[in-house]
């Protein structure tokens, strides 16, 4: 038994992030995951019909996710991200058609000023209104932060005179994409933190970064290799039952098979609904404060290729984004592979596959009227895609230390200050590792 190593329970992005950070400091780790494959909610699998490796959902990053980019740099997969030189998003408006928002290569926040002022999605008066709203959100004074933390995004938007059309055509698509929750529910404070990171960090930080390969290759395989090459170990199908406490310290974990594995510290990198049974009874944690927000993704394979752009944001319909997987992943196939995304999919997730497909196809045809029926499709429901943000729960996210000095918590839902994203997961793992180091 190697009791000098650190056990990480959960091989999702937060657990792998902790593993990379500790292995990089020559601290051996053992990563345990209950599933046959690592990656957690960032997962890939083979589609039986086409033989393609597909993701459980399109994962979008921005260049300002510095911790995630650094994670990828360390494991050697950063070049598998395609990063825009500056933010450029093609939208499709139901009445106005295609309109593009592009930020010029100028320092922040001047780039935002010029980008918004030159975008023909809105009237000139509305562009000025948008800037007014944006300025109030990006202001970082403490008083403002405190106010935002108690508000939903919609409450804040109304507070700063962002009328319904501006909400529908700009703020809501942005908020749902970042927060995976309806703006009428999600916390304005967490949204603001994300926007500051995107629009104030650097000229490029808002640029969209898309994986050109599957999630497993981007995040998981090379991270596992990194850990093992530095003396670490990975065990899948290892279902942890609870942590073992002796006197005031954690001394290891018990698997469901009754095996005891000893360690000098334990990081629990599992989602909130899996945490309570693992935690020692004396540690207060109420999982019921966390509810979930779903994401529905539909992969569609077509005989022909109708999308020229990498992705398009669809305003005012159920489907919010279309990603041109053939182009982004350079699949080199004849025909097209498109991934349609519905975030905060509360109203859709319980529909049948046929119903979801019909909605998505109607939305695609409202943008690209020539779209034929797909040759093949795959509907993926992630009912627990991310925790559901709201102003109350966002102030109750637990930190990374616990009342037991060598027991730590990681996960996108912990108190990183950012929405439940890959970046939040990576930060949480790094924070646990920093405590241990």
Q: Which lies closer to ligand FAD via its Cβ, residue 131 or residue 380?
A: 380
**Is residue 116 within the footprint of ligand FAD (CB under 6 A)?**
no
Give the bridge partners for 293, in sequence order.
386
Q: Which of 7, 9, 129, 307 binds ligand FAD (CB under 6 A)?
A: 9
Other C-beta atoms within 10 Å of 140: how many? 11
Among the residue ranges 5-13, 95-103, 154-162, 345-353, the one whose residues contact ligand FAD (CB under 6 A): 5-13
| Residue 274 binds to ligand FAD (criterion: CB under 6 A) | yes
* 387 φ, ψ (degrees, to nearest 5): -65, 155
Here's the x/- map for ligand FAD, 33-62, by CB under 6 A: it reads as xxx----xxx-------------xx-xxx-
Q: Are strands 29-32 and 233-235 parallel, antiparallel or unpaired?
A: parallel
Q: How far is the CB of 120 from ligand FAD (least distance, A)?
A: 27
Q: For ligand FAD, which residue of 79, 165, 225, 239 counts as binding (CB under 6 A)?
A: 239
Does position 14 interact with ligand FAD (CB under 6 A)? The reply is yes
Task: Among 307, 421, 431, 433, indicate the residue that binds ligand FAD (CB under 6 A).
Answer: 421
Q: Which of residues 288-317 bind ligand FAD (CB under 6 A)?
A: 295, 297
3-state secondary structure of 266: strand
Q: Report d(CA 291, CA 182) in Å as an integer.
A: 13
* Residue nearer to ligand FAD on the CB measure, 240 or 379: 240
Residue 49 — left, alpha, or beta (φ > 0 → left; ψ -120 to 50 → alpha)?
alpha
How far CA 316 is from CA of 74, 89, 181, 319, 407, in Å, comes to 40, 16, 16, 9, 46
CB atoms within 10 A of CB 300: 23
Q: Residue 109: is the preceding peptide bond cis (ω within 30°)? A: yes
* Residue 192, SS3 per DSSP: helix
| Candidates 26-34, 81-89, 156-164, 301-309; binding stretch for ligand FAD (CB under 6 A) | 26-34
Residue 15 near ligand FAD by CB under 6 A: yes
Picking from 41, 110, 28, 105, the residue whose alpha carbon sits closest to that of residue 385 is 41
Residues that bind ligand FAD (CB under 6 A): 9-15, 32-35, 40-42, 56-57, 59-61, 239-240, 269-271, 274, 278, 295, 297, 382, 385-386, 411-412, 420-423, 425
């Amino acid at each position: 038994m190697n009791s000098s190593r650190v056990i990480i329970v959960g091989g999702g992005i937060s657990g792998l992030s902790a593993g990379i950070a500790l292995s990089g400091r020559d601290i051996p780790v053992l990563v345990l995951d209950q599933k046959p494959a690592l990656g957690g909610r960032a997962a890939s699998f083979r589609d039986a019909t086409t033989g393609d490796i597909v993701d459980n959902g399109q994962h979008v990053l921005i260049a300002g996710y510095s911790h995630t980019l650094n994670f990828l740099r360390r494991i050697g997969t950063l070049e598998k991200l395609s990063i825009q030189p500056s933010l450029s998003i093609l939208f499709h408006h139901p009445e106005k058609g295609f309109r593009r928002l592009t930020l010029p290569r100028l320092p922040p926040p001047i780039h935002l000023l010029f980008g918004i002022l030159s975008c023909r999605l809105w009237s000139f008066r509305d562009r000025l209104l948008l800037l007014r709203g944006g300025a109030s959100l990006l202001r970082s004074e403490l008083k403002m932060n405190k106010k935002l933390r108690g508000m939903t995004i919609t409450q804040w938007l109304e507070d700063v005179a962002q009328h319904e059309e501006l909400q529908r055509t700009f703020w809501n698509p942005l908020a749902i994409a970042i927060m995976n929750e309806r703006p009428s529910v999600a916390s304005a404070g967490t949204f603001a933190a994300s926007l500051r990171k995107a629009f104030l960090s650097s000229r490029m930080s808002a640029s969209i970064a898309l994986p050109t390969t599957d999630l497993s290759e981007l995040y998981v395989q090379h991270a596992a290799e990194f850990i093992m090459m530095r003396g670490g170990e990975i065990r899948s199908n290892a279902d942890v039952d609870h942590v073992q406490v002796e006197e005031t310290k954690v001394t290891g974990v018990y698997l469901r098979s009754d095996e005891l594995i000893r360690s000098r510290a334990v990081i629990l990198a599992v989602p909130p609904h899996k945490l309570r049974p693992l935690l020692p009874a004396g540690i207060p944690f109420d999982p019921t404060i966390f509810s979930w927000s779903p994401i529905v993704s539909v992969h569609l394979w077509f005989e022909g290729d109708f999308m020229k752009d990498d992705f398009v944001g669809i305003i005012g319909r159920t489907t919010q984004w279309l990603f041109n997987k053939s182009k982004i992943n350079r699949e080199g196939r004849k025909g097209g592979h498109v991934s349609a995304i519905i975030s905060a999919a509360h109203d859709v997730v319980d529909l049948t596959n046929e119903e979801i497909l019909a909605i998505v196809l109607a939305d695609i045809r409202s943008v690209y009227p020539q779209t034929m029926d797909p040759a093949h499709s795959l509907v993926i429901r992630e009912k627990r895609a991310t925790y559901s943000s709201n102003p109350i729960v966002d102030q109750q996210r637990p930190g990374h230390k616990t009342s037991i000095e060598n027991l730590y918590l990681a996960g996108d839902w912990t108190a990183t200050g950012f929405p439940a994203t890959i970046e939040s997961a990576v930060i949480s793992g790094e924070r646990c590792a920093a405590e241990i180091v």
